[in-house]
Structure 1
Amino acid sequence: MEDVSSRGLHFQLSDSQRNRLRKSRELLREAPGNYHPSAFVNIADPIHVENEATVLKGHGTQVLDGQLLATLSGVVERVDQLVTVKPLRCRYNAETGDVVVGRITEVGTKRWKVDINFRQDVHLMLSAVNLPGGIQRRRTVIDELNMRSLFEENDLISAEVQSVHSDGSVHLHTRSLKYGKLTNGQLVKVPPYLVKRLKQHFHNLKSCAVDMIIGCNGYIWICAAVDSLPSNPEIEKITGDSGAPEMDSCNESISLKVRENICRLANSIRVLSALGFLIYPDTIIDTFDASISKGVAIKDMLGAEFLVMIAEREASRRTKNNYML
């Protein structure tokens, strides 16, 4: 037996499991739709172009001595005349409009500092949050004194990137009622480059009675669906244009079945991350269903056998159906 570490998880693979995993990775590399080996470059590798005079030099490229060179290790991408190098692995790079999940690290003057897996903490201004009841008005000194009643240190929140400034600072907002404090769930952290960007990052898995927020920053929140929680007549739920209920600030009692579904989904995401597969609802649910159909216990999903089984399953699907994550 040998210990194998992959993206924060440790797997103890036998010789046969190691050979099966290696074979699956070879099939995945050769599967139709993957990048051709010539598309990968290292730092200072030349990038071959047909007509250098008409080529637009994009991110990750530089001209030196009349030759176009790569300044990053990654994949060469061409869009018309624009040539760029996309790094294989990188930290989260915030873009305006991104849905993110973050943790409050500091409560300051008229603003909170939030950790969103960025190179520095970002700002959430008091003027950029919803007041209780959705009231729209100017913030006062009383609101500033009561900031901790909204968010305090270590609170998890969902938000949207409002602006990215030239000095590198990032500002968030939670003005929509679908954003706010997160409760009744579990946080899973994955590399942000594995998160597939979609039009919608809020997902309701009705079959599991679970809601999921896939943050573009690699923080994924899995919680009990609001309609699965016991009703509380003392708390009025307010819905916005999206139909999303306002997040309650208190944890509720969650049924055993829903808690099991949350843990199974979280482990499905961890397995996909360990294998380096793109993470989005279809792949998460597919791994979730595979664990149930194979009778794999939740605690055994992070074992070597299930990891190898998912890799073999995906390699077989891509080679037979030209399917690519």
Structure 2
Amino acid sequence: MISFTSYPLQLDDESFYGSRQHHPDAAEDIDMDLDDEQELFEAGGSKNLTYPGEPLTSSHAYMRGHGTYVNDEEVIASVAGTIERVNKLVTVRAIRTRYNPEVGDLVVGRITEVQPRRWKVDANSRQDAVLMLSSVNLPGGVQRRKLESDELQMRNFFEEGDLLVAEVQAFFSDGAMSLHTRSLKYGKLRNGQLVTIPPILVRRLKSHFITLPCGVDLILGLNGYIWVSKHVKESDQEGEEGFDAEAVYSNQNDRIDELTRVAISRVTNIIRVLASHFVPLTDTLLLEAYEWAVDQEDGAKDLLQDDVGDLLVAMITTRRQ
């Protein structure tokens, strides 16, 4: 189980985290003017997490958003999480929450049920996602019509327990998200390991497909599911002619050499350590962390020791300052 601790992080322009700490002698000095509140949010506090019931700011200067409520002219946090401010709107993003999908998001999921002409997918959301038979690549071309014979062979493509990467296509009337894998970069996942972290720690990047120099591929699902696998060379053919159904829907893992296995384990443990210290993941941060771990010449499992993990996070925090 992943535990969360507040650890000082360097702020950047794209995200905002801050919190207030009150001295007992100054508890009555709550009312601040607008300039003081502005400095509070821009400078940030000495910690990055807020707890339920903690006063955040004056309700006169800011509007309350999700995760907050107003009491005695103050905006109060109603959940444990990180503070975010957009103009005059203050919100708290909960640490432990289900993934809130948006159209175009890349997600990693697990097949939970095979139904007529569709699959149910666990995507760490409030309800299972749906992958329609018409939304996957099938042998014979992407655009061909799905026949009754395809419906009878659905378990040859995906069955219960299979992992896949897909894109959020739309939403049904009940709020369930509809997925699609109509691209050669989407589909069944093999040759790797799944890591689960809070969705709040996965930032929106230009590309969520990352290749590290150590021969490891990463898929950062915005739903908090991260796939760490052996590097696979991209096919030169991206059209329908390059579609190999047997390879795409195969359940057989490739042979993975010992060095690649160690690299996968090291990257996996790095992600677990960063998540336990509530550090948002980016491609550059993961690369820096891996290079540091290799320089230490420790085993992959040593990263899970408290002292080594603390040193790793301290190094990341120092470089980001």
| TM-score, with length taken from structure 2 | 0.76
- Kept in 2: contact 1:43–1:73 (CA 8 A): no
| Offset from partner CA, 1:246-271 (integer Å, 9 cap, x none) | 74623211222222211111111111
- Kept in 2: contact 1:178–1:240 (CA 8 A): no
- 1:216 equivalent to 2:218? Answer no
| Offset from partner CA, 1:206-257 (integer Å, 9 cap, x none) | x2222211111111111112239xxxxxxx984259x999746232112222
> Which of 287, 301, 310 pairs up with 1:299?
301
Bigger relative contact order, structure 1 or 2, given CA contacts below 8 A and separation 6+?
1
| Offset from partner CA, 1:181-217 (integer Å, 9 cap, x none) | 1111111111211112212111122x22222111111
Aligned counterparts of 2:82 and 2:197: Cα–Cα separation in 1:
21
Q: Which residue number in structure 2 is paired with residue 108 of structure 1?
A: 115
Aligned counterparts of 1:46 and 1:8: Cα–Cα separation in 2:
24
| Offset from partner CA, 1:52-109 (integer Å, 9 cap, x none) | 8xx5x64345568987665544455332344433334322112211111111111111
Aligned counterparts of 1:264 and 1:44: Cα–Cα separation in 2:
38
- Kept in 2: contact 1:123–1:170 (CA 8 A): yes
1:20-39 equivalences in 2 (<5 Å)? 28=8, 35-37=18-20
Aligned counterparts of 2:312 and 2:287: Cα–Cα separation in 1:
13
Question: Structure 2: which amino acid aligns with 1:300?
Answer: D
> Which of 121, 131, 135 pairs up with 2:142?
135
Q: Which residue number in structure 1 is paired with residue 267 of structure 2?
A: 265
| Offset from partner CA, 1:105-163 (integer Å, 9 cap, x none) | 11111100111112222111111111125331221211111111111111111001112
| Offset from partner CA, 1:259-285 (integer Å, 9 cap, x none) | 221111111111111222112222222
Aligned counterparts of 2:174 and 2:285: Cα–Cα separation in 1:
37
Q: Which residue number in structure 2 is paired with residue 170 of structure 1?
A: 177
Q: Which residue number in structure 2 is paired with residue 276 of structure 1?
A: 278
SS at match of 1:213: strand
> Which of 274, 278, 290 pairs up with 2:292?
290
Aligned counterparts of 2:204 and 2:137: Cα–Cα separation in 1:
26
Question: Structure 2: which amino acid aligns with 1:210?
Answer: V
- Kept in 1: contact 2:99–2:124 (CA 8 A): yes
Q: Which residue number in structure 2 is paired with residue 144 of structure 1?
A: 151
- Kept in 2: contact 1:47–1:70 (CA 8 A): no
Q: Which residue number in structure 1 is paired with residue 47 of structure 2?
A: none
Q: Which moved more, 1:181-190 or 1:40-49?
A: 40-49
SS at match of 1:309: helix
Aligned counterparts of 1:73 and 1:270: Cα–Cα separation in 2:
20
Number of aligned residue pairs: give it.
286
- Kept in 1: contact 2:109–2:165 (CA 8 A): yes
Q: Which moved more, 1:87-96 or 1:257-266?
A: 87-96
Aligned counterparts of 1:311 and 1:244: Cα–Cα separation in 2:
42
Aligned counterparts of 1:141 and 1:271: Cα–Cα separation in 2:
48
Provide the identity percentage: 43
Aligned counterparts of 2:72 and 2:308: Cα–Cα separation in 1:
51
- Kept in 1: contact 2:19–2:56 (CA 8 A): no
> Which of 52, 69, 83 pairs up with 1:42?
52
Q: Which residue number in structure 2 is paired with residue 239 of structure 1?
A: 238
Aligned counterparts of 1:199 and 1:244: Cα–Cα separation in 2:
25
Question: Structure 2: which amino acid aligns with 1:209?
Answer: G
Cα RMSD after superposing both structures: 3.3
Question: Structure 2: which amino acid aligns with 1:272?
Answer: L
SS at match of 1:158: strand
- Kept in 1: contact 2:156–2:249 (CA 8 A): no
Aligned counterparts of 2:75 and 2:277: Cα–Cα separation in 1:
33
> Which of 83, 93, 106 pairs up with 2:100?
93
Aligned counterparts of 1:60 and 1:271: Cα–Cα separation in 2:
27
* Residues 1:122 and 1:309: Cα distance change in structure 2 (over 3 Å): same
SS at match of 1:127: helix
Gaps of 5+ in 2: 22-40, 42-49
Q: Which residue number in structure 1 is paired with residue 312 of structure 2?
A: 310
